[in-house]
A and B are shown apart, each in its own frame.
Chain A
């Protein structure tokens, strides 16, 4: 049997794994027949670790030690707006790690977001190994197209911690396009509307016989199905307060029950006009009397609650289209990706915006994982038949004086690519040159995501202005940024040191890998 490489769609809410079987991309279910797995890790009191749909059941009974939606923390600095928002929502505890990074506190242990992701990846590997009966070590992992370098790097680190060789990081909408375009001889201009659990992406592609060229992409890494659930959850909390005078938001346990009911109601509304919501024993008053909570939610009311979220996705679509100088009418077809696109409000809004019936031939929960499997398989086979030409989603910037920044590589530039910039020393006998690089669309440096501060040294020491250092900024096929420098005159490579970064050092990744080898994922 030839070597197997997995495709893994590591989602905010759910994770899915696929491989090529008999030439066909196939989602691999676990032993219980589940094809998607909640991206949840629960650390039990007895030391067992649960992953997936089992772990999700622990959110209510073991809220402090059950980690969900941790993808939202990947590659973020502790002081960022995103982490502050997550802190308000999740019952588990976030603490500051080294270099302003984020850690999740579980009892007396802390875990980085890539470590949590690694536990989920290990479970996926286990599922495939059980299914195929062979060892699997290689994987392609997908990320939202709009993920920045820090977030991509964190995803790659998660793979290494899990003991995987990460063949490639690919963008979720691009992976979905691979699934649709696979062997069908499409010659089309396609828009992929990808609304996941936590993120939204839109990509516009030209698909030829064998070339998948991304023309532009745009996204919002903080907009997804989770936000729709939250709207219902807050509405439920408000209605309960109006009826019973009790604020359930103060009770973590009750809030999780509301969230669970909200997700269920949302899914129900994809099929029904009205859903019944019944939550038993949501509140116990001072005299020990327990209250149930029953109500109904109609599709119309739900649509009103989330209208602004839906509109936000189309602002992002406008951005992607204008960036490639196209209009919605130029698209030959529109493909829906991600579980939340099952909602009738999304389907009808997309149809209205693009003026055509969106395609949903492949299950929107599975289409990304299948595409990742196609790419993983292609990388093992030099006779591969498809070529991905992707773009960088964000402008790469260089920090300049006075808190400003300037563009180095524009967003939507095809990758791989590199650019060089020259710097001269500003002082006599200068030994070091420091630069800060960012990704984002603002001229103000601090309004962009900081990728890191690089320090170059080891070049000739001379009077100021005499030494010119050429810095090369490279974005590779994973969308990951590499920076290197050399002395122009001598051609000698300067040594590069990364001072500030949200990520893990190589040593930290290795240490985490060693620690996690002993970690046993509990079986049912």
Chain B
């Protein structure tokens, strides 16, 4: 097996071992973050690991085993990132890997995905009035008319008081208005 002179043999060995062990790790372990890590940290960590394992960096490497290994790791990094950056998926995943079926659920399953989708449908715009008002508010934000946007979101909340996505949009908007 040809080795890559530009890469430390110890690092190459560790990388191959990591690739072989991926199926035993949960996404928090894959990304090397705590279960309570904020989204900014998830993103930073995803970037920094992609820097280390990005397949492009090894494009010219003669060590094909190493190339396979970084490709497998890069794929798993994307997979972990997609789930952990999304609050709804992340909550479901945390439940999955904290339960008895942890071993079967280290990779986000179809079943969990469909549960998340159902939950989302329940929280996003159950009423046509709510949906229309949110659309109007987004348009107003685009036009720079934050006051109208705030009014539309508040009215939307009258129709859907429990809709968390409208609530967070309104909070974000208010922060924006405060900062100027």
Contact = CB atoms under 8 A, between A and B. Distances in A.
A210 interface: yes
Nearest to B59: A379
Contact of A417 (B6, B79, B110): B79
Contacts of A389: 47, 50
A380 interface: yes
A404 interface: no
Interface in B36-84: 47, 50-51, 54-61, 71, 74-75, 78-79, 81-82
B51 A210 contact: yes
A416 B81 CA distance: 12
A382 B59 CA distance: 7
B157 interface: no
A415 B60 contact: no
B56 A477 contact: yes
Contact of A382 (B51, B57, B110): B57
Contacts of A421: 110
A414 to B, nearest CB: 4
From B54, B56, B82, residue with most partner A Cβ within 10 Å: B56
B81 A414 contact: yes
A203 to B, nearest CB: 17
Contacts of B144: 329, 355
B55 A387 contact: no
A353 interface: yes
A415 B71 CA distance: 10
A213 interface: yes
Contact of B142 (A210, A355, A388): A355
Interface in B119-172: 138, 141-144
Nearest to B77: A414
Given A167-B59, A211-B51, A415 B142 contact: no
Contacts of B61: 382
Contacts of A418: 75, 79
Contacts of A208: 47
Contacts of B75: 416-418, 474
Nearest to A213: B47
Contacts of A327: 138, 141-142
A210 B138 CA distance: 32
Contacts of B47: 208, 211, 213, 387, 389
A384 interface: yes
Contacts of A510: none
A380 B50 contact: no
Q: Chain A binding site: helix, strand, loop or mixed by DSSP?
A: mixed
Contact of A211 (B50, B57, B141): B50
A413 interface: yes
Contacts of B54: 387
A328 B55 contact: no
A414 B82 contact: yes
Interface residues on B, range: 20 to 34
A309 interface: no
Contacts of B81: 414
A379 B50 contact: no
Contacts of B6: 382
Given A211-B50, A211-B51, A387-B50, A416 B71 contact: yes
Given A210-B51, A329-B144, A389-B50, A380 B60 contact: yes
A378 interface: yes
Contacts of B60: 379-382
Nearest to B142: A328
A382 B56 CA distance: 8
Nearest to B108: A419
Given A328-B142, A379-B59, A382-B6, A387 B78 contact: no
A120 B120 CA distance: 48
A355 B58 CA distance: 41
Given A327-B142, A382-B58, A388-B56, A417 B50 contact: no
A465 B110 CA distance: 20
B141 A416 contact: no
B139 to A, nearest CB: 9
A416 B74 contact: yes
Nearest to B146: A329
B150 to A, nearest CB: 14
Contact of B78 (A353, A380, A415): A415
Contacts of A414: 78, 81-82
Interface string A291-331: 00000000000000000000000000000000000011100
B177 to A, nearest CB: 12
Interface string B13-36: 000000000000000000000000
Nearest to B138: A327
A328 B110 CA distance: 33
A210 B50 CA distance: 11
B51 A387 contact: yes
Contacts of A328: 142
From A415, A416, A418, residue with most partner B Cβ within 10 Å: A416
A476 to B, nearest CB: 8
Nearest to A410: B82
B142 A329 contact: yes
Interface in A368-390: 378-382, 384, 387-389
Interface string A266-280: 000000000000000
Interface of B: 6, 47, 50-51, 54-61, 71, 74-75, 78-79, 81-82, 110, 138, 141-144
6 contacts: A413-B78, A416-B74, A421-B110, A477-B55, A477-B56, A477-B74
3 smallest beta-carbon distances between A and B, as pairs: A414-B78, A417-B78, A379-B59
Given A210-B51, A379-B56, A387-B54, 5 more contacts: A208-B47, A378-B56, A379-B59, A382-B6, A415-B78
